[in-house]
Amino acid sequence: MKRKIFLCCAVVVVVAALAFVGLSPLTAQRGNAAGPMITVMNPAIANKMVDRIPLSPRLDTLDGKTVYMVDINWGGPDAAYSVFEEIRDWFAQNKPSVNVIIKRKAGMYTMDDPALWKEIAEKGNAALIGISG
């Protein structure tokens, strides 16, 4: 298995080196005007960008507000969830008028959770959404 991986890596290195110096790995000739020496993908965006939605305006104060902290489930259910709990405890000690609600997003971190977003929109004033570790 190691030999196969080594051989694959060696082939990739040789092809990359040939392309770097301008040689086609298929013809191994320099300056062949009959055809292109390498194929290049165009990184330009061909389609229209999506409409961007601006961020919500910043709150003047958190006093009396409800802040949601949402764990997006990246890394599994035990991946540093305690960080959100520490932040909640800090608010309880230092800003007791702030209502902190910790939620874990349903499903994988790549999946949508419309019910949670609706709850935050209806009951929350701010949200920290991300990884808590």
Q: For residue range 38-87, what is the model confidence (pLDDT) as tens digits?
A: 777 777 777 777 788 888 889 999 999 999 999 888 877 677 678 888 99
pTM for the structure as a whole: 0.59
Residue 117 lies in a domain: yes
* Co-location of 78 and 119 in the same domain: yes
* The total number of structural domains that make up the chain: 2
50 within some domain = no
The domain containing residue 19 runs over which residues? 1-37
Q: Is residue 44 part of a domain?
A: no
The residue among 101, 100, 107, 114 whose CA lies nearest residue 73 is: 107
Report how far apart, in Å, the C-alpha atoms of 23 and of each of 11, 26, 39, 40, 63 are. 15, 9, 12, 14, 66
> How many whole angstroms separate alpha carbon 133 and alpha carbon 120?
22
In-domain check, residue 47:
no
Q: Note whether 17 and 70 are same-domain residues.
A: no
What is the structure's pLDDT at 8?
46
Q: What's the pLDDT at 4? A: 47
